[in-house]
Amino acid sequence: MGHGAIVRRLVWMAGFSAAAFVVLPNGLAPFGILLAVATCLMPLVSGAHAVGDRRVLPHALGALGAVPVLVLLVCAVSMLRSGQGWDVLDNPARLLLLPWCAWLMWSSGVGRGGVWAGAMVGLALACALAVQEHLLGAERAGGHVNPLVFAHSVMVLLAAALFCRPAMKAPVWAMLWTASVVMAVVAVVLSGSRGVVPGLVVVVIASLIGEATGRLLWLRLGVAAGVALAVAIASAGVPWLAEQSRMDQVWPDVAAYRHGQVDTPIGARLELLAVAAREFGDAPFTGTGIERFGASIDASDHCGRGEQRHFCDLRHAHNDIAQWGATMGIPGIVAIIAVYWVPLAIALRGFRRSRYASTRRLYVGCAALVIACLLAGMSQSTFSHAITASSYAILVGTMLGLALRARDGEPYMDAASPGVQRMDA
């Protein structure tokens, strides 16, 4: 077996493990080991796309590489200014996985089957864990980690499962599509995490629309709108579903906040936005300092009197833009916008230029995933948690790397059968 086949097998296994085990505690550890080993062996691979041949690197990889550089620069300046330790760079540094995974997928030429298979296993595992925790009496399923992080991981896995699929017959795919969506919905509903619902809807609708055009596009849009409406009616009208998904608590929480109650999920988020706006207004160009939002909460009117309140235990703004703006000012807002905008722009540009339906599907999936994470980040700070930050960087980078390689017109190599080439399956 040649070096190229070994590297492709390792990359295939890395993609599989990243998706399959992300919902488990320390589930990304196997991915990290495989990623490091595959990267170390990559210089042994010969060919036009081998490492070191910088002339053929797509410009998109350079743009992706600039994102973590910008983010780490902004975070490091804020860290030094506020006297924080180097550990505050842990979560931002995970964005290095964005260009790393894109480059590895692009340079190895591995197929998308590993990521898709891993996502299907991950969804099944997440659904089983959620059902088990629910049967054992847990109020909210969290995969033994955190309900918000768990639900976010499920949303990311659904995007990989729906858009990274290899070629297969339509009836088979219809069954697998249904199974994927059902498993994801069950896991998210049992987690009681409302913040990922808009993103989950975006991913499902994007998968229904796909790369369709003309009448087919309008037909699929109608189906997607009908599905979204049915889910909304069910969430509001079915008592058990409304209670389990906590949709029945939204308006009571808003009403309570109007009377000064901040110890509810909605009330706390609204007050956190108010605290973030106040901190940003006081220091728009520097913010309070990275990872110092907790001090702003402690100094707020609700916590300054020594009261024991749930609100006072929160440490971040539960909103990416508010968090980065309050702690790092305008540079922080620019950095977090780049985190979302650069991959989205690459995906949209690639979609317009691609001639292959399956490659366009990858770009659509990447765009849907970025938008879904952006929407989720409006209520639960994606980059305040290690797992959600890592899963965003890994899956977005992986999907873009797969799509960029397919756009080059290069055949994918099936890791299971190194001697067989598959054109953009």
* CA distances from residue 241 to 126, 154, 165, 269, 389 in whole angstroms, order as listed: 19, 18, 30, 23, 29
Region of residue 81 (left: phi > 0; alpha: psi -120 to 50; beta: else): alpha
Q: Domain for residue 269, yes or no? A: no
Phi, psi (rounded to 5 degrees) for 355: -105, -10
Could you read off the pLDDT tens digit of each residue along the chain, which spans 425 residues?
Answer: 566 788 889 999 999 999 999 999 899 999 999 999 999 988 876 544 444 444 467 889 999 999 999 999 999 999 999 988 899 999 999 999 999 999 999 988 888 999 999 999 999 999 999 999 989 988 888 888 889 999 999 999 999 999 999 888 889 998 999 999 999 999 998 998 888 988 998 998 898 887 665 677 677 777 777 777 776 676 666 665 556 556 667 667 777 777 778 888 888 888 899 999 999 999 999 999 998 998 888 888 778 665 556 788 888 899 999 999 999 999 999 999 999 999 999 999 998 888 888 888 999 999 999 999 999 999 888 898 999 999 999 999 999 999 998 765 544 443 443 333 343 33
* CA distances from residue 193 to 94, 250, 255, 312 in whole angstroms, order as listed: 24, 12, 20, 21
Which residue is it, tokens 């808003």? 254
Q: Domain for residue 294, yes or no? A: no
Q: How far apart are CA 24 and CA 31, in angstroms?
A: 12
8-state DSSP, 286: T
Maximum Cα interatomic distance, the chain, rounded to a whole number of Å:
70
Number of domains observed in the structure of the chain: 1
pTM: 0.88
Q: Domain for residue 401, yes or no? A: yes
Q: Domain for residue 276, yes or no? A: no
Cβ-count burial 372-395 (b if 16+ within 10 Å, e if not): bbbbbbbbbbbbbbebbbbbbbbb
Q: How far apart are CA 244 and CA 239, in angstroms?
A: 9
Q: Domain for residue 394, yes or no? A: yes
Amino acid at 391: S
User: Which domain does 76 fall in, by range?
Assistant: 3-45+59-235+345-408
Q: Domain for residue 187, yes or no? A: yes
Q: Domain for residue 315, yes or no? A: no
Q: Domain for residue 21, yes or no? A: yes
